[in-house]
Homo-oligomer: A and B are copies of this chain.
Amino acid sequence: MRSSYRFVGDVMNDRIVVLRLGHRIHRDERITTHVCLTARAFGADGVVITGDHDRSILESVRDVVNNWGGPFWVEYVSSWKRVVHEYKDRGYLIVHLTMYGINLPDVISEVREGFKRSGGMLVVLGGAKVPGELYRLADYNLAVTNQPHSEVSALAVFLDHLFEGREFNREFTGGRLKIIPSPHGKHVIEEKKG
């Protein structure tokens, strides 16, 4: 089973794809949604989800892309291994975020250089159970601190370091709303669609 929900964007231009493993319906709904929104905000192009097929994730992400712009996509795939091998074959660097890996400051320069020479990057985020094989298939097992916290924060901090903060100025296109940063309130403008 493979279902693709490409809201905006073109797969051939993808540089960063996130693979979220083993989504469980209900229990992981909000965490996986936050993973997708974090991926989008911090510069990834799309998220592949394995595990339960969950329409609520798609709807939440579609609403955000409609309101705030893209490009961004979400896809369900049943086999994580097939995804990893497909991206490996296309020359992508496989980076698995795990608290057991090498701490970010000790490896981020090397990952950044490898990324520049690669076809792109697949960033793999574990779910409830991470298959041991993934640790061997990954080019890098990278820890965002060697402490337990969250796949959401691990993804954000990793992408922020990878891009060295450039994602803060990322422009999204095709959305309806835009924030004018404000010191003490909310200022949102509605943009005309081109």
Binding site for B on A (CB under 8 A): 27-28, 30-31, 34, 37-38, 40-42, 64, 68, 99-106, 135-136, 138, 140-141, 143, 145-150, 152-157, 160, 165, 167-170, 172, 179, 181-188
> Do B34 and A100 have beta carbons less than 8 Å apart?
no
> Do A106 and B146 have beta carbons less than 8 Å apart?
no
Rounded to whole Å, the gap between the CB of A117 and the closest CB of chain B is 19
* Option from B27, B100, B145, B154 in Cβ contact (under 8 Å) with A167: B145
Alpha-carbon distance A28/B29, docked complex (angstroms): 11
Q: List 13 A-B contacts (CB under 8 A).
A: A28-B30, A30-B31, A38-B149, A40-B149, A41-B147, A100-B181, A100-B186, A105-B168, A143-B181, A145-B168, A157-B157, A157-B160, A160-B160
Rounded to whole Å, the gap between the CB of A110 and the closest CB of chain B is 11
Given contacts A30-B30, A160-B157, contact A150 B38 (CB under 8 A): yes
* Option from B27, B68, B99 in Cβ contact (under 8 Å) with A179: B99
Scoring A38, A105, A147 by chain B CB atoms within 10 A of each residue's CB, the highest score goes to A147
Alpha-carbon distance A181/B155, docked complex (angstroms): 18
Rounded to whole Å, the gap between the CB of A145 and the closest CB of chain B is 5
Alpha-carbon distance A165/B109, docked complex (angstroms): 14
Tell me the dominant secondary structure on chain A's binding face.
mixed
Alpha-carbon distance A160/B136, docked complex (angstroms): 29
> Do B31 and A165 have beta carbons less than 8 Å apart?
no
> Do B188 and A100 have beta carbons less than 8 Å apart?
yes
Alpha-carbon distance A41/B102, docked complex (angstroms): 16
Rounded to whole Å, the gap between the CB of A136 and the closest CB of chain B is 6
List 10 extra interface pairs beyond A37-B149, A41-B145, A153-B156, CB under 8 A. Answer: A34-B152, A102-B182, A104-B168, A105-B168, A106-B181, A146-B179, A147-B172, A153-B157, A157-B157, A157-B160
